[in-house]
Amino acid sequence: MTKIKNNSQVLFYYSHSKKWLAKISKNESLHTHIGVIKHSDAIGKEYGSRLITNKDKYVYLLEPTTYDYIMKIQHGTQIVYPKDLGYIAARTGLQNGQKVVEIGTGSGSMTSFVASIVKPRGHVYTFDVDPSFMKIAQKNIDKAGMGKYVTMKKLDIKTAKKMPISEADLALIDLGDPWTVVPQVRKMLKGSGAVIAICPTMNQLEKLVVSLVQNEFTDIECSEQILRTIEAREGKTRHSFQGIGHTTYVCFARKAFFEKTKKQTRKKSTK
């Protein structure tokens, strides 16, 4: 049984659209539309308990998960959404102990999620070119408690002479022009290793796939994930009126080797 203490992370949960992440600080209060929440009221309670605001509304004290950190990220840039992150984990068979390289740190949402799964033995190496974004990302990664499992570095992989990583299990690409880094990314992957690229447009998918084929990748799968929420209530169950729109398309592929096999060579020589 985990009790909430001063400095504990808490998700104050009222509803799907009204929830707040906070680090408990005994003298602070959270002022919201549903009333004032005094941090000190949470101290000593078990996660899952509820408080009542001065406007008589119940607020649950939930233990934040990676999902909550990602959904509450301060985005200086677009985040990668949980629906897409889930697909990435499932499609690549992401698991503890893996070595992951990420080109384009963005807001750090994908970095945090992937780190939360490969930790504690695995690691994420993430590279970006924009120091201002990197600062925001570092804050987000730290807040999610993943700082230890992530190494962030300013590096333009397109012009880098030597790859900083090799034999990675998975490479993540979150750039506007993902196809430009395919040859470099390939060098960092182990044989059969996976690449995932975040492609908000169809044009990016198309250019990327051309590049992946040229660079000897196989098992290529482009897709989009659509999450539809359902309101299940006695006698009136239906999908939500509010739709969840486009976030990004995702491309998956695995590194192969197209070199000629013995048999082929033999056949050619006999001709």
User: Which residues ranging from 12 to 41 are in contact with a copy of itself (CB under 8 A)?
Assistant: 13, 16, 41
142 contacts a copy of itself (rule: CB under 8 A): no
Among 243, 268, 269, 271, binds a copy of itself (CB under 8 A): 243
Q: Which residues pair with 197 in a beta bridge?
A: 173, 251
Stretch that binds a copy of itself, among 28-36, 56-64, 131-139, 150-158 (CB under 8 A): 56-64
Interacting residue with a copy of itself among 24, 61, 182, 195 (CB under 8 A): 61
Q: Which of 92, 105, 126, 140 binds a copy of itself (CB under 8 A)?
A: 92
Minimum distance from CB of 25 to a copy of itself (Å)?
20
The answer to whether residue 93 forms part of the interface with a copy of itself (CB under 8 A) is yes
Determine the residue type at 181.
V
Adjacency order of strands within the sheet including 189-199: 150-154, 123-128, 99-103, 168-173, 189-199, 249-255
- Measured CA to CA, the distance from residue 30 to residue 103 in angstroms comes to 37
Between 82 and 106, name the residue whose CB sits nearer to a copy of itself: 82
Check if the beta carbon of residue 124 is closer than 8 Å to that of residue 150.
Answer: yes
Residue 165 in contact with residue 159, Cβ under 8 Å?
no
- Which residue, 232 or 271, has its beta carbon nearer to a copy of itself? 232
**Is position 94 an interface residue for a copy of itself (rule: CB under 8 A)?**
yes
Q: Is 131 in the site for a copy of itself (CB under 8 A)?
A: no
Residue 60 binding a copy of itself, by CB under 8 A: yes
Closest contact distance (angstroms) between CB of 181 and a copy of itself is 17
Determine, following the binding rule CB under 8 A, whether residue 210 of this chain makes contact with a copy of itself.
yes
Residue 151 CB, nearest distance to a copy of itself (Å)?
A: 18
For position 246 contacting a copy of itself by CB under 8 A, the verdict is yes
Among candidate residues 64, 169, 154, the one with its CA nearest the CA of residue 118: 169
Coil, strand or helix at 246: coil
> Comparing C-alpha atoms, which of 79, 123, 120 is closest to residue 247?
79
The yes or no reply on residue 173 touching a copy of itself (CB under 8 A) is no
Contact 11, 62 (CB under 8 A): yes
The answer to the question of residue 160 lying near a copy of itself (CB under 8 A) is no
φ, ψ of residue 26 in degrees (nearest 5)? -55, -25
CA–CA separation, 190 and 177 (whole Å): 23
With CB under 8 A as the contact rule, the residue among 33, 245, 268, 270 that binds a copy of itself is: 245
Residue type, 33: H
Instruction: Return the structure tokens found at 132.
Output: 């201002």
Query: What amino acid is encoded at 51 in this protein?
Result: L
- Using CB under 8 A as the binding rule, whether residue 226 contacts a copy of itself is answered as yes
Residue 57 interacting with a copy of itself (CB under 8 A): no
